[in-house]
Structure 1
Amino acid sequence: MITLCLADNSPVVHLGIQTYFKNSTTIKIAEVVSSFDELQSAISSSSVDCVVLDAELNGLNSILKIKKLLQENPKLNVIFFTNVSDTLYAPPAIKSGVKGYVSKTIELSELENAIINVNNGELVFSSEVKKAIEILNKTKKSDRLFKKLSTREIEVLRYFSEGRKNKEVAKILGLDEKTISTYKLRLLQKLSVTNLLDLINKAKQLEII
């Protein structure tokens, strides 16, 4: 039996997935949480094999938190179950140690198969993610500057695209405002633009956000 922790903001998602797996003989939902703090507590207090995780979970403001979580719990399998842009989040998620990345548009039977396959040691990514990664790999060199972006730079860029200011981004990520300014300068240089508006437009053209 695979013990599962469902970490998602939506009560509707909680109900739907819990109902689907209610009579399963393969997967047992041991914990249901709505924030990253609750997820950490659930993992430390109970035996969990796999986490189905919303990339926009309350309190999950950095993919680096997932990397740290997996370093502290090396046997834990994490599957991202999300609507966040594949191009934006899949590569750093994979790099952090996430074993699966699937869209919330899939059937629950597909999610079930993903959980089982990941538990069997496989890497599972939806067709949308595979397609996005293939496109990135085929992109001509002159348009691949964004592949040099660090995980943190991608996160900062994402918050800029939401219209947040340096001070807001610094507070969300728990960093100094000057550090955010430094990331902003690096992003401008790496994407060969001179202002924030052009930076965001370039990121959209390259399908980073």
Structure 2
Amino acid sequence: MINISIADNQPVVMHGIKSFFKNHSAISISDTIYHLHDIDNSLKTKIANILMIDIDLEGLHSIKSLRRILRENPATKLLIYTCASEKLFGVTSLKVGAAGFISKNEPLKKIEQAILKIAEGKTVFSDSVHKAVLTTALFNEEERIYRKLSLREIEVLRYLVKGKKNNEISELLDLNEKTISTYKLRLLNKLHVTNLIDLVDKAKTLEIL
């Protein structure tokens, strides 16, 4: 039996997934988690072959948290299941070592297929992410821009797009406010813009939401 733990903010999503896999012959839901700080205890007390996690999970402010989860729980594989942009976070998921990335826009049947493949030791990504990984040489100029961003720059940009100020981002990521300013300057340079408004507009053009 493949044991799955789900970390998500939305009770409706939880209910839908649990209903879909109820009485499934190969997949069982072992736990449901609503906040990042509950993941460690859950993985210690309940078997989870795969952790399905939303990037927007309450308390998840840094990509480092995903890396830590994988490092401290090597027997558990990570499946990103989220509404966040595939264009950016699908590739990011690869960098942190996730076994797959599936959009919440996909039917639950595709989640089932992804879980079964991951349990076999395979990696699973949506068609658009898979294509992006395999066809890097064909990317146009704008598509190459976001691939130049570091994981930390991606995190800072994500909060800037959400309207967070430097001091708020500093607290969320546990970094000095001057460091956040430095990352903002790097983002302005890499995305070829000169102010925050244009930076946010550019991020939206690249679907970094």
Equivalent residue number for residue 126 of structure 2:
126
CA pair 142-3 structure 1, distance change in 2 beyond 3 A: closer
Alignment partners' CA distance in 1, 2:70 and 2:52: 14
Deviation at 1:45, TM superposition (A): 1.9
Are the aligned partners of 1:67 and 1:97 in contact in 2 as well (CA < 8 Å)?
A: yes
SS of 2:98's partner is coil
Equivalent position amino acid for 1:30 in 2 = S
2:63 alignment counterpart? 63
Question: What is the alpha-carbon distance in structure 2 between the residues aligned to residue 201 and residue 188 of structure 1?
Answer: 12
State the match for 1:151 in structure 2. 151
Q: Distance in 1 between matches of 2:137 and 2:90?
A: 13
Instruction: Show the 5 A alignment for 1:43-62.
Output: 43-62=43-62
Give the distance between the partners of 1:30 and 1:89, measured in 2 at CA: 26
Question: For residues 177-192 of structure 1, what are the structure 2 equivalents within 5 Å?
Answer: 177-192=177-192
Distance 1:142 1:7 in 2: 33
Match of 2:166 in 1: 166
* Counterpart Cα distance in 2 of 1:84 and 1:166: 22
Q: SS state of the match for residue 52, structure 2? A: strand
Partners of 2:178 and 2:57 lie apart in 1 by 27
Q: Give how far 1:136 is off.
A: 5.8
TM-score (norm 2): 0.92
RMSD between superposed Cα atoms in Å: 1.8
- Residue 193 of structure 2 aligns to a residue whose secondary structure is coil
After superposition, give the CA deviation of every residue in 1:47-93 in whole Å (9 maximum; x if it has no partner).
21101111111111112210111112222111111110111211111
Shift, 1:131, TM fit: 4.4
Amino acid aligned to 2:15: L
Give 1:139 shift.
2.1
Contact 1:87/1:133 (8 A) holds in 2 = no
Q: 1:66 to 1:137 in 2, by over 3 A?
A: farther
- 3-state SS, counterpart of residue 59 of structure 1: coil
Q: How does 1:3-152 map to 2 (within 5 A)?
A: 3-133=3-133, 137-141=137-141, 144-152=144-152
Q: Hey, what's the Cα distance between the residues in 2 that align with 1:127 and 1:7?
A: 23
Shift of 1:46: 2.0
Contact 2:88 2:146 in 1 (8 A): no
Greater mean deviation of Cα atoms: 134-143 or 82-91: 134-143
Q: Identity across aligned pairs (percent)?
A: 42
Is this contact kept in 2: 1:102–1:129, CA < 8 A?
Answer: no
Higher mean C-alpha deviation, range 182-191 or range 149-158: 182-191
Contiguous gaps of at least 5 residues in structure 2: none
- Give the drift of 1:185: 1.2
- TM (normalized to structure 1)? 0.92
Deviation at 1:138, TM superposition (A): 2.0
